[in-house]
Amino acid sequence: MAPSLSLSNIRSSKGFIVATICIATFTDGFIYGVVAPVIPFILRDQVLVPKDQLQMSTSILIATFALADFFGAPLCAWYVDRYRSRRVPWYAGIVLISTGTIFFGFANHFWMLVVSRILQGFSSSILYTVGLAVLVDTVDHDQVGQWMGTAMSANNIGMIISPLLGGIIYDKSGKMWVFAIMVALDAVDVVLRLLMNEQRSNSRMRNASPKRSHDLPRGEVQEKEKVEPKGHYLDVARPRTAVSALFEQYLSLQLSLHSNLSQVPIISSDTPVSSASDPAQTTPMRSRRLPGIISLLNSPRLLAALYGCFINECIVSSLCAVLPLFVNKTFNWTSLQAGLLFLTIAIPAFAGPLAGAMADRLGARWVAVAGFLLTAPPLILLRLVDHNSKEQIILLCGLLTLAGCTIILFLSPLGAECTFVAEELSKDQETDLYASSFSLMNCSLAAAALLGPLACGGLQQRFGWKATTIALGTLCASGAVPCALVTGNGRAVNDDHENEV
């Protein structure tokens, strides 16, 4: 009984790893959201920029996080694909989030805040690229949607409730107390990440990644060396120089035109010709068809899932941008009352795992389509709220609650859909594409976090509240079309028998 309760077993247990990833996504969303409402006040109170540059400087700080997040994800995925290691970027993320928080706390120049947001953005990109890949490897194959929904809901909850807390704490106690909360959350997150011990024993990874000589027992390696000729093969697992990489790409293109040569090794000068011509001495040559991200972008299923994730983040970030000003103008609400309004969206997000479990059982397609079609009407009907009365306040809260309950129906299934597409292509490409898949998902979320508030704020300023709500509803409804056409309607219940409808 003692071994099962050892610290090593706890650190590598499913529950501990899932809890670590969910707390990390919550911390990421919280830190992103808690800083947003206090940035203009910090710039003003500490006189970090001229007063006439306050709005532009605030926009720059918000945009730098999203840009670092957007460009960091592909870089992280490239590293994982090339070096087959998640440990280095995982620990790099810990250093980045800690350093970014310290820069924020002690910033007395504008450039220090910029550096803080950049470091936090890179940390976020690593978390979603590596962390979600670790989550998928850890949970059971038929529970991916459920746990993906849990992780994504944790991020949404952190991002929605943090502006409320950040605004109240800064107003009552100042910047250093906001910094103290960030440090406390970071400390818990960092400790859990350091303690977590990833166990990449999932059968999906074994199927996706072919065995290499250093993964085999010593006896098998010796047998392998006896059978294989000493020619040089195109093996993506072997470390390569820049010249050899170009040479291998050239040979791969040539061999793709002559499929009958797929069994021929590249003979070194010290290898007898007869050994190459002996069929018993040859082994199939393996080459990567396309770079991971490019092959994923060729999948319509993944593009539909990425578009759905983009819509979700766009709706949430846009509401965070325009709702506070709208309720202040319409109902004369303070920042506290506006922050409490976001609880109507945050509380239903706790049901995200249920939506993921539903997608695991019924398939992602129609669950996601239902989510898009059910979320669009309440968003459009928000246009009915146009004056100050008790009935209008009840209507606003009711519509936001309804939208919060239905928006989870497409985030969790489509997040899991990114996993299933990566799983299929990983087996086809004979390499691990989970990190690349989640990097693309992270790019779509970062792009939405950047473009959503800008576009929605522009619509609100130029055309008013009613036009803004119609645009949000139309954008949401548009996600149902690609999902209905290409999203998977069934999924595998085990690793050996897949049932894709």
User: DSSP string spanning 362-379?
Assistant: H-HHHHHHHHHHHHHHHH
Same domain, 266 and 348: no
> How remote is the C-alpha of 405 from its chain's centroid?
21
Residue 286 in domain: no
pLDDT computed for residue 489 by the predictor: 67
Looking at the predicted structure, is the pLDDT value of residue 167 above 60? yes
Same domain, 112 and 96: yes
pLDDT computed for residue 471 by the predictor: 94
Give yes or no for a contact between 28 and 124, defined as CB atoms under 8 angstroms apart: yes
Q: What CA–CA distances, in Å, run from 412 to 240, 332, 361, 392?
A: 39, 36, 13, 31
Same domain, 16 and 55: yes
Span 221-275, pLDDT tens digits: 444 444 444 443 333 333 444 434 443 443 444 444 443 333 334 333 344 444 4
Same domain, 300 and 272: no
C-alpha neighbours within 13 Å on the C-beta side of residue 82: 13
Highest-confidence range of 148-162, 253-267, 311-325, by mean pLDDT? 311-325
Least confident of 10-14, 204-208, 435-439: 204-208
Q: What percent of the chain has pLDDT over 90?
A: 18
Span 446-486, pLDDT tens digits: 888 888 888 887 888 789 899 999 999 999 999 999 999 98
Band of pLDDT at residue 335, cut at 50, 70 and 90:
low
Q: What is the CATH number of the domain that holds 29?
A: 1.20.1250.20
Same domain, 47 and 134: yes
CB within 8 Å of 176: residues ≥ 6 apart: 105
pLDDT computed for residue 235 by the predictor: 37
Band of pLDDT at residue 200, cut at 50, 70 and 90:
low
Q: What is the mean pLDDT of the chain?
A: 75
pLDDT computed for residue 480 by the predictor: 93
Q: Which two tokens stand for residue 316?
A: 């949430």
SS3 289: coil
Residue 495 in domain: no
CB within 8 Å of 8: residues ≥ 6 apart: 197
Which residue, 226, 246, 281, sits at the end of a domain?
281
Q: What percent of the chain has pLDDT over 70?
A: 76
Least confident of 156-170, 403-417, 452-466: 156-170
pLDDT computed for residue 292 by the predictor: 65
Residue 86 in domain: yes
Same domain, 249 and 317: no
Same domain, 377 and 418: yes
Residue 494 in domain: no
Residue 394 in domain: yes
Residue 232 has phi, psi (to 5 degrees) of: -100, 125
Least confident of 59-63, 206-210, 335-339, 368-372: 206-210
Same domain, 143 and 219: no
**Burial class of residue 225 in the structure, from the number of CB atoms within 10 Å of its CB (0-12 exposed, 13-18 middle, 19+ buried):** exposed
> How remote is the C-alpha of 494 from its chain's centroid?
24
SS3 107: coil
266 has which bridge partners? 232
Looking at the predicted structure, is the pLDDT value of residue 277 above 70? no
Same domain, 14 and 154: yes
Q: Find, among 66, 65, 71, 76, the residue nearest to 104 by Cα.
A: 65
Which residue, 257, 281, 305, sits at the end of a domain?
281
Residue 496 in domain: no
Same domain, 351 and 377: yes
Domain span including residue 81: 3-205+292-486
Q: Find, among 142, 176, 181, the residue nearest to 162 by Cα.
A: 181
Which residue, 281, 304, 326, sits at the end of a domain?
281
| Rounded average pLDDT over 352-379 | 86
232 has which bridge partners? 266
Number of structural domains the chain divides into: 2
Q: Report d(CA 446, CA 71) in Å as an integer.
A: 9
Same domain, 9 and 135: yes
Residue 499 in domain: no
Looking at the predicted structure, is the pLDDT value of residue 370 above 60? yes
Q: What CA–CA distances, in Å, run from 225 to 79, 97, 219?
A: 29, 45, 10
Looking at the predicted structure, is the pLDDT value of residue 68 above 70? yes
Band of pLDDT at residue 319, cut at 50, 70 and 90:
confident
Residue 265 in domain: yes
| Rounded average pLDDT over 353-382 | 87
Same domain, 151 and 27: yes
